[in-house]
Structure 1
Amino acid sequence: MTAAADLLHPVVLHHVVNTLQWPGLRPLQEAAVAPLLAGADALLLAPTAGGKTEAAAFPTLSRMAAENWRGTSVLYLCPLKALLNNLAPRLETYTGWLGRRAAVWHGDVSASRRDRIRRERPDVLLTTPESLEAMLVSIRTDHHEFFAGIRAVIVDEVHAFAGDDRGWHLLAVLERLRRLVRKADPSRELQVIGLSATVGNPAELLHWLEGSGAGRRQAEVIAPDLPTATVVGAAPGAVPPGAIELDYVGSVPNAAKVIASLHAGEKRLVFCDSRALVEMLGTELRARGVTTFLSHASLSAQERRRSEEAFTEARDCVIVATSTLELGIDVGDLDRVIQLNAPTSVASFLQRLGRTGRRAGTVRNCLFLTLTDDAVLRAAGLLTLWGRGWVEPVVAPPDPRHIVAQQLLAYCLQEGKVGDRLWADEWNGLAPFDRSAEPIVRHLVRAGYLDSDGGLLFIGPEAERRFGRRHFMELTAVFTAAPEFTVLWGRDEIGRTDPKLLTDPVEGPRLLLLAGRSWRVTHTDWKSRRCFVEPADSGGRARWLGHSPFALSFPLTRAMRDVLLGTDPPVALTPRAVARLAEIRDKYTDRVHPAATMIVRDPDGDDVRWWTWAGDLANRVLAASLGDLADPRQAPDEAYLRLRSDLTPQMWKTATAGLADRICLPHVNAESLAGLKFNTALPPRLAEATLATRLADLPSAQTVLHEPTRWS
């Protein structure tokens, strides 16, 4: 053990040496000891299974013991309930060394266990931000007393929060928590520790996580294994030649055939980009005699847990999953990661790659099995970016006005009544939860979401009507979930399915595909949204109403263009992938140019497309900015947008002169707006502006407009 380890509390160090029988701490754990013991805010970066939990927990528990913290003093926040369940045994063990306790609180925890936590407060509480807020607003939890002693907050997989609205929600709830702590002791500042495996902008991410506490204490990015402050594997030299391979297989049955025939006797994790694809591949693998387990968000918690536990204990098997297994849930030592089609980002690929190579003598590896031309091109573009050492920066979505409205309502629910001039103080001046939110407050009062009387704000009848069911649970959930029906076999819950599968016309019995098996629907209870099933031999269908497709970025789309122009990613390509890429390149010959965008008219003259290769969001901006030059019926994709059929070069030159200086945000329709939760609590123009800003990439659109355009 090194001098850094000697700084830990003697009891913690004793158990590290004698109970865990570690010969020493890992580099990240050593580097984290001194700053965390000194109370610094920190972002700990390491690949998956790099020991981040212990790097945060050991110094924090050492402080707890040395400074005699009492009551619930540490919060451990995770994005997934499954990750909390996975971490709980380890943290229960570590706290037990010191005679302390850890407990889990989330939506699946029973009421009796929650009551016990209220009575016998654990030293470390593992929860999600949504469950934390539910505790703050609950009349059964004395939040002023329960949270007054919080000293440190550990946020696991922080990048999974920061890139979407859950990040804004997390920051806002932490500010309310910070306020409670300061009211109990004005001299106390929360220590915030983030854990992440995949970031391209670590310093900015740490500053974001600190919220209003930024600059009040020492802050440090700790990444001794990662000299570039990104994730291991960001450069191809970190992975042996041939360990990453790109193949083209063309169909799900072909993918199953490849998986069944390769790597017999090994444990394989297959990532798919949709729940329906998980179900289809799982069924095909089982039909070939492969021991297969499934994991995705629409399976019941019991079904997922059963699959993940069985997979952990087995050897010659496959687990097929969506991104639910991308984060730090431990499914044991993997031999292989297989990717069907392509992940949505380099960061996501690196997270999945990091699942392998954990045992001595093994290496990180990933096999891409692509099903379509679009998938093989996207995979090749993504791997090209990876080969250049590029990782996406984690950037919070702009203008979260709907989250501001949600927070104002939640805070009034938490405190009962709030001063109509004092509400902004509760977020400690953190924008956008500060005075800039005055127009939103005025709208909430006008629309009846808030009532105002005697200088106080409190929950109004409209908030009761829209969000008041089941003790305002709807108000603490940041995302809008698509309606689904619970599928039951007897008393056992199998999972949830899209209601369209229960209403579409069918001939013969109605068959579902769920948990890798076919089921015959025997009864549907429309009022309670439940359907009852019995096993069927085959023929089931899988479908879910998902979120809108992931928007491909400007860097990824330009890397795809580079592939079409002849760049090969620095990975092994199978003969099938080489042949398919050659066919795709031949198909796109007149649509790509290394120094210009292309306007291409089809031979009949009716279809004119501008091949910008700028990404979905930039093309939305360009379509809106071009006005009547763009086809109003189109939905631009990442590569092109359609133009009016009578367009001439002169018309184009006149219309685009100086257009980079007057681009505009894309139009927002009612269907898109419905996906922005809490949008009804905003003035319509603010709701539209919020979504329009998020559907736009203005800098990339300007880049395209400054590039030359060639006609073909």
Structure 2
Amino acid sequence: MSESSTSFYRLDERIQRFIWTEGWESLRDAQEAAIPLIINADRDVIIAAATATGKTEAAFLPALTHMLQSDELGLIVYISPLKALINDQFDRFDRLCEQLEVPVWPWHGDVSASIKTRFLSKRNGILLITPESLEAMLCNRGTSISTIFDRSTFFVVDELHAFIGSERGKQLQSLMHRIEQVVGRKIPRIGLSATLGDMNLAAEFLRSGESTSVAIVESRSSSSELKILVKGYEEPLVIIRSGNGDDEEPEPATPSLIATHLFKSLRGSNNLVFPNSRREVERFTHLLNNLCIQQQVPNEFWPHHGSLSKEIRAETEAALKQQNCPATAICTNTLELGIDIGSVKSVAQIGSPPSVASLRQRLGRSGRRKGEPAILRGYCIEDAIGGEASLATELRLNTIKMIAMISLLLEGWFEPPATNGFHLSTLIQQMLSAIAQYGGITMSQLYTLLCAQNAPFSCVSKVNFITLVRYLGQKEVLIQDSSGVLLHGRVGEKLVNHYTFYAAFVIDEEFRIVVNGKTLGTIPISQMLTVGQRILFAGKTWFIEEIDEVQKTIYVIRAFGGVPPSFSGSTGRTHTQVRQRMRNLLESNDIPSFLDEVARRFLAEARKGYTARNLGHTFFVDQGRVVYILTWLGDAANEAIACLISWRGFIAVPAGPGVEVLKGKYTTEDLLDALIDLAVDDSPPLDILLADVKNLQREKWDWALPDGLLRIAYASLYLDLEEALKWAKQIAAINTR
């Protein structure tokens, strides 16, 4: 170990010996910086460093040193988003901690009761736990929480970015806060992540209201060489005959071509392939397995997504870890986080990723071996231009979006965490959980616990809190006894006693598409829906006649004639910075070196279409029945603009880089007038703005929110009214000169 490493010599001698035995030549820069910040256990710390740069050791080496130097062995609570990650970390810690005589305790649904009982008798060492198991502990062992966590020295939150801005993240904030309230002191928090777009927002998440006191460690380690190839594939033009709409969806031709390239490029090494949906994971796994059979070679391609059993996922993970047998996983974001899957040679991305942050996280799995580059293969699919091509096809937006995301990745930009959500769904869960923990609690005590200054739900006013409690009483979720204590109601008691209660999030649900009593299939819904809206499904255009939110069903009729909807949705929600970069690419002459011949052609065609439509100087695209307003803003702003335009009497929905508006009796001039009016008039209250919007119930407990609070919760998570109105004012200024 280098003599210049002062941090190394601050570690416990037994840890120093372990490091020498492991043959470490030096500490990483993040470890050098983090050790003095953590070792005294007197502050919160965020460690941001690329994958495989020693973040976990940067946290645990000084945390263990502090614990070993104390008079009494304490407890480090490690919180992970995944059970599989806990299992990996248990194997990782066990060898070191055995030498230190520090017990390591995994705790999740698959861990035996005997291990949990032994932990409860000792209550020291390292506890590896998920938020859901922590929730269950508070609900079911409320009277013992003080005893269990009294000796806690740290909360360590792994994959911090996976929690920020989500219901699960708000749950985690609340759980840590509630434990601190019971033990009567702050427990230092350590956040670990490879992908944090805004360190100040991340610090605010880690310690609400006290972000300035959070110490931040950002690794400056140089990354490995990066090799990128983006290949373009054109789906042949298919003529769909008009009729009753019952003809089958044509099977796309490009997946088999992409699978053939993957087969040739990936065989013989370990890789990850991300096709962006579970259905596509199954499609490409099937195609690649068939190629192995046809070529009479052993299968190297394995599926991995959330709908598969844990046994099948474990088989894929085990295949990736085998050193002598190459394996490639076709996966969703289930393998995006830090599960130990060994060394991965390359990452393939089919279609644009959900976000730049997601792309960075995925690419971080490649190029871990010293001297090996990280490799990214991107595959863009575009429909052939012909007939009544959509605007998205003309502008080759699938390709443009991927190029934009890669260019932002290369510049080191990725999306800042979303921290403005009210998360009222999770507030309901935490109210019920706190009642279970304390065996009953007054309304005043509950508000102080969860909603007071610096508490997890401090954005909730007393008026809204009282409104919520009363509504939950009407739904029999809560009751209040004669002394004023809140208890579980008839409905609430059933919910809390069910095993599904402990998770704050809901698995993404899909809506059925039904025409004339026949189910066409299901689609995930990530944006608002309105009656009269056109949607693209199974290669055809449909009008929405009715939306049944309870049954998760959309009733449609065929829409014949005219161009199809240009934008049929995508994975994830796109940030304004990505859309602005897409526009910049369309207005530029630069050609990225990582594009193949077809992708370069797509880029040229996109720029030609952009210029032909004069989109550098106009934001309206009139396509007969509909008008596209190209804002080049993110999804949250576009959804807000769509709501504001709908309030003015139009049928408008967010659509890719803009908003689609059904003209009906209106003209383009009427639409421009409406936009100018938006810039000068006051915005309506949310009750009016979202009155006709369906499918607002996105989160697990949204069904238990009164309409007014449901609209507040939805707007806080999905609408950016400020950015929308700023854009409207810019348009008004240009058109009123």
Pair in the same fold by TM > 0.5: yes
Change in 2 beyond 3 A, CA 1:81/1:374 = farther
Are 2:587 and 1:565 equivalent residues in the alignment? Answer: yes
Match of 1:154 among 153, 156, 169: 156
Q: Which of 303, 311, 314 is matched with 1:302 structurally?
A: 311
Query: Which residue is 1:433 aligned to?
Result: 457
Matching residue of 2:218: 223
Aligned to 1:12: 15
Pick aligned residue for 2:290 from 280, 283, 287: 287
Flag the 1:276–1:504 CA change in 2: closer, same or farther, 3 A: farther
Residues 146-178 of structure 1, C-alpha deviations (whole Å, 9 max, x = no match): 122212000001011003121111111110011
Q: Does the residue aligned with 2:172 lie in a helix, a strand or coil?
A: helix
**What's the counterpart of residue 198 of structure 1?**
195
Structure-2 change in CA distance of 1:628 and 1:347 (3 Å) = closer
Q: State whether structure 2 residue 476 is matched by structure 1 residue 444.
A: no
1:103–1:122 CA contact under 8 A, matched in 2: no
- Matched AA of 2:479: D
Could you tell me which of 256, 270, 276 is aligned with 1:267?
270
Where does residue 600 of structure 1 map in the other structure? 621
- 2:281 is paired with a residue of what secondary structure? helix
State yes or no: 1:703 paired with 2:726.
yes
Match of 2:545 in 1: none
Moved more, 131-140 or 48-57: 131-140
Distance in 1 separating the partners of 2:444 and 2:31: 46
Alignment of 1:281-680 (within 5 A): 281-289=284-292, 290-314=299-323, 315-372=325-382, 373-427=396-450, 429-431=453-455, 433-434=457-458, 436=462, 437-453=465-481, 454-465=483-494, 467-468=495-496, 471-481=497-507, 549-566=571-588, 568=590, 570-591=592-613, 593-594=615-616, 596-602=617-623, 605-627=624-646, 631-632=650-651, 634=653, 636-645=655-664, 647-648=666-667, 650-661=669-680, 662-663=682-683, 667=690, 672-680=695-703
Distance in structure 1 (CA, Å) of the matches to 2:219 and 2:505:
36
Matched residues in 2 for 1:106 and 1:301: separation? 14
Q: Is the 8 A contact 2:422 2:713 kept in 1?
A: yes
The answer to whether the 8 A contact 1:597-1:707 is kept is no
Query: Conserved in 2, the CA contact under 8 Å of 1:247 and 1:370?
Result: yes
Q: Secondary structure at the match of 1:297?
A: coil
d(CA) in 2 for partners of 1:111 and 1:483? 32
Residue 426 of structure 1 and its aligned partner are, at CA, apart by 2.8
SS for the counterpart of 2:379 is strand
Q: What residue identity is the alignment partner of 2:436?
A: L
The two structures have a TM-score, normalised by structure 2, of 0.79
The CA distance in 1 between the partners of 2:693 and 2:669, in whole Å, is 36
Q: Distance in 2 between matches of 1:283 and 1:411?
A: 47
2:7 counterpart SS class: helix
Aligned-partner residue type, residue 301 of structure 1 = K
> Per-residue CA shift, 1:214-233, capped at 9, x if unaligned?
56xx531011416xxxxx77
- The structural deviation recorded for 1:246 is 1.2
Distance 1:584 1:83 in 2: 42
With over 3 angstroms needed to count, the CA separation of the structure-2 counterparts of 1:483 and 1:584, relative to structure 1, is closer
Tell me the CA shift for residue 703 of structure 1: 3.5
Does the 8 A contact of 1:103 with 1:125 survive in 2? yes
> 1:554-585 CA distances to partner (integer Å, 9 max, x unpaired)?
22122222223335574511001111222333
Distance 1:642 1:669, change over 3 A: closer
Looking at structure 1, the residues matched to 577 and 589 of structure 2 have their Cα atoms a distance apart, in angstroms, of 15
Unpaired segments ≥5 residues, structure 2: 235-253, 293-298, 383-395, 521-568
Aligned pair in 2 of structure 1 residues 214, 349: CA closer, same or farther (>3 Å)?
closer
After superposition, the Cα gap between the structure-2 partners of 1:276 and 1:606, relative to the gap in structure 1 and judged at 3 Å, is: closer
Q: For residue 552 of structure 2, what is the aligned residue in structure 1?
A: none
Is the CA contact (8 Å cut-off) linking 1:449 and 1:461 kept in structure 2? yes
Aligned mates of 2:128, 2:108 — CA distance in 1: 8
Q: Secondary structure at the match of 1:222?
A: strand
Of residues 99, 106, 109 in structure 1, which corresponds to 2:108?
106
The TM-score normalised by the length of structure 1 is 0.82
Residues 705 and 80 of structure 1: CA distance in aligned 2, closer, same or farther (over 3 Å): same
Aligned partners of 2:618 and 2:369: how far apart in 1?
47
Once the 2 structures are TM-superposed, how far is the Cα of residue 381 of structure 1 from its aligned partner? 2.0
- Of 67, 80, 83, the residue aligned with 2:82 is 80
Q: State the identity as a percent.
A: 30
> Does the 8 Å CA contact 1:668/1:692 hold for their aligned counterparts?
no
- Cα drift, residue 616 of structure 1: 2.6
Corresponding position of 1:189: 186
Decide whether aligned partners of structure 1 residues 577 and 90 sit closer, same or farther in structure 2, where only a CA change above 3 A counts. Answer: same
- Change in 2 beyond 3 A, CA 1:191/1:28: same
The equivalent of 2:542 in structure 1 is none
Q: Structure 1 residue 668: deviation in Å?
A: 6.4
Structure 1 pair 680/69, CA: closer, same or farther in 2 (3 Å)?
farther
Change (3 A) 1:115 1:483: farther
Q: Secondary structure at the match of 2:730?
A: coil
The separation in 2 between residues aligned to 1:246 and 1:480, in whole angstroms, is 34
- For 1:625 and 1:694, how far apart are their aligned partners in 2? 17
Amino acid at match of 1:282: T
User: Quick check: 76-85 or 257-266, which moved more?
Assistant: 257-266
Q: Which amino acid aligns with 2:454?
A: L
Return the offset for 1:653: 4.8
1:687 to 684, 691, 710: 710
| Contact 1:102-1:126 within 8 A present in 2 as well | yes
Is the CA contact 2:45–2:191 (under 8 Å) kept in the aligned structure 1?
yes
Structure 1 residues 383 and 400: CA distance shift in structure 2, 3 A: same
1:629–1:404: structure 2 CA closer, same or farther, 3 Å change rule? closer
In structure 2, the CA distance between the partners of 1:320 and 1:65, relative to structure 1 (3 Å rule), is same
**Conserved 8 A contact 2:504-2:700:** yes
In structure 2, distance between residues paired with 1:505 and 1:425:
48
Find the counterpart in structure 1 of residue 392 from structure 2.
none
Asked if the contact 2:449/2:455 (under 8 Å) is kept, the reply is no
Determine if contact 2:46/2:216 at 8 Å carries over to the other structure: yes
**Separation of aligned partners in 1, 2:156 and 2:591:** 37
Q: What is the one-letter code of the residue matched to 1:623?
A: A
Q: Write the distance in 1 (CA, Å) between the matches of 2:197 and 2:216.
A: 12
Structure 1: 5+ residue stretches without partners: 183-187, 227-231, 485-497, 507-546
CA RMSD of aligned residues (A): 2.9
For the residues of structure 1 that align with 2:34 and 2:158, how far apart are their CA atoms? Answer: 15
